[in-house]
Amino acid sequence: MNKPIRAMAATLLTAGCALCTAHANVIIGGTRVIFPAKDGEVTVRLTNQNTTPALVEAWIDSGDPESTPDKVNTPFLITPPLFRMDPHRDQSLRILFTHSDQPLPSDRESVFWLNVLEVPPKPSGPQFLDKNYMQMAIRSRLKLFYRPAGLAGDPAKAPNELSFKAANGAGPVALVVHNPTPYYVTIAQITVNAGGTSHKVDPGMVAPLSDLRLAVPDLKQAPGTGSAVQYDCINDYGADVVLKATVSP
């Protein structure tokens, strides 16, 4: 695939989402990819639900949403990286770990992103002859978690281990989320109760063994100790897990 198509993909995807007129026809089996280091490879299934073929290109980046296959440098290989998908057919992507020059941490997960770019065929037929039209290339982007062998704890229980504190110091009101586990935890929705009212907190992904500051846009004063927190996390299977906690001292 030529570079202009790659460069346009992200822009076209953004425009399509904003106008709600572009929808991916090549569907990825799952909303995230878990890569157990002990396995050495994983398989991701794609399905073309459209009545026309599509050209598909896949690559993995380390966090740059503007990435293109010719510029990424990650320790993974995808096969096949570029292929045609006929209508109503499946295709398996094999993702293999290639052991980079810079070893990944062995005491915690690392996160990457799987990109699947779908380019539809050029319209044909007399109705398109000498006509102007816009063709949408759609890119889907999923998190890929590289999970070293022998990590402590249970990834399914990692969301339960999060703790919350009100942010100290000047600046907008925020909660500081502490993740003591070696696993990434994605918070899809979160609210905090202050003064008898539930307030939305900006969601986010908490890195392993780290803290993350999440803003509470409509609060003027930090929630007190013991304030109720409800948060929805996404597990390995893409399902929501609803949990409750309180603000710690």
- What digits encode the pLDDT tens for the residues 123-144? 666 666 666 666 678 999 999 9
Query: Which of 117 and 130 is assigned the larger pLDDT?
Result: 117
- Least trusted range by pLDDT, from 94-108, 116-130, 193-207: 116-130
Exposure letters 77-93 (e unless 16+ CB within 10 A, then b): ebeeeeeebeeeeebeb
- Fold match, 3-147 / 155-248: yes
Beta strand 90-97 with 163-166 is unpaired
pLDDT bracket for residue 7 (50, 70, 90): very low
Tokens 């925020």, located at residue: 174
What pTM, to 2 d.p., does this model score? 0.85
Query: Which of 6 and 186 is assigned the larger pLDDT?
Result: 186
pLDDT in tens, 15-72: 333 333 457 899 999 999 999 999 999 999 999 999 989 999 999 999 999 999 998 8
Do residues 147 and 132 make contact, with C-beta atoms less than 8 angstroms apart? no
The DSSP code sequence of 94-117 is EEEE---SSPPPSSS-EEEEEEEE
12 pLDDT above the threshold of 70 = no
- For the chain, give every domain's residue range: 3-147, 155-248
- Per-residue DSSP letter, 71: T
pLDDT bracket for residue 168 (50, 70, 90): confident
Q: Which helix (H) or strand (E) holds 4?
A: helix 3-19
Q: What is the 3-state secondary structure (H, E, C) of 54-69?
A: EEEEEEEECCCCCCCC
Fold classification of 3-147 (topology level)? Immunoglobulin-like (2.60.40)
Query: Which of 232 and 19 is assigned the larger pLDDT?
Result: 232
Q: What are the DSSP E strand ranges found in the chain? A: 26-28, 32-36, 41-48, 54-61, 76-79, 82-85, 90-97, 110-119, 138-147, 163-166, 174-179, 185-194, 197-200, 204-206, 210-215, 228-234, 240-248
Please give the mean pLDDT across all residues of the chain.
88
Fold classification of 155-248 (topology level)? Immunoglobulin-like (2.60.40)
